[in-house]
Structure 1
Amino acid sequence: MKSTKLNGSSGYMLFESLIALAMVSISLYVLIPHSVQFFTTLKAAGAEVAYWRVAQDQMQVIAEGGSPIGSQASGGLLFITTWNPETAQLVVNGGDGTERVEVHAEEIQTEGP
């Protein structure tokens, strides 16, 4: 491609560099919102997995006849669990919301060692 001297300036400007700058700018304009959304979704999914991990651990303890642990840390969040045996309801309260899980301990099969 031919370089041209701009009017009233002492230097030359390459059109290739302008095209490259435009491509990089457009790429950043398109990719940055998608990457922010990706990391936000990833963080929310990690918190949801941590909720279910705690709920599963507590359900296993309940099914084996024990009492659930009052507080437990998982995935960088502190979870407080409460168990109501009359309604068979396990409530897991975490750092960013509440997850309610209904558990029927008689339906859970446990395997012995």
Structure 2
Amino acid sequence: MKSTKLSDSSGYMLFESLIALAMVSLAIYVLMPHSVQFFTTLKSAGAEVAYWRVAQDQMQVIAKGGSPIGSQASGGILFTTAWDPDAAQLVVSGSDGTERVTVRADEIQVEDP
């Protein structure tokens, strides 16, 4: 019995479709882990930038002779700050409590606005 659907005038549609599906599946299989890793890295980098932004703001206040704010929100994260004047250290903790940034007060330069 001879099949006429495999070699009609439009070509081998089923075979070409399977090759295209295999190529798309392979591309998704290869690129999906890289995409997930990229967005995870981007999110953690954004949180780190927010930590350093709060630390810099608080150190500017301390360097000008003021007292730091106890809690501050930046980048969607609530930060708490603790200033130790004896050790000249500022500790910035996020609401998740997973990261800490310690900056020495003598490393910050005060800029006049």
* TM-score of the pair, normalised by structure 1: 0.82
Counterpart of 1:39 in structure 2 is 39
- How many residues of Structure 1 are paired with residues of Structure 2 in the alignment? 104
Higher relative contact order structure (alpha carbons within 8 Å, sequence separation ≥ 6): 2
Superposition RMSD on alpha carbons, in Å?
A: 1.9
Q: Determine if contact 2:90/2:102 at 8 Å carries over to the other structure.
A: yes
* SS of equivalent to 1:4: coil
Counterpart of 1:79 in structure 2 is 79
Runs of 4+ in structure 1 displaced over 6 angstroms?
none
Counterpart of 1:18 in structure 2 is 18
Give 1:83 shift.
0.3
CA distance in 2, matches of 1:16, 1:47: 46
Q: Determine if contact 1:89/1:100 at 8 Å carries over to the other structure.
A: no
Assess, with a 3 A threshold, how the Cα gap between structure 1 residues 48 and 27 changes in structure 2: closer, same or farther: same
Amino acid in structure 2 at the alignment position of 1:72: Q
* SS of equivalent to 2:73: strand
Give 1:104 shift.
2.6
Higher normalized strand content (fraction of residues): 1
* SS of equivalent to 1:69: coil
Counterpart of 1:53 in structure 2 is 53
* TM-score of the pair, normalised by structure 2: 0.82
Q: Which runs of 5+ in 1 are unaligned?
A: 6-11
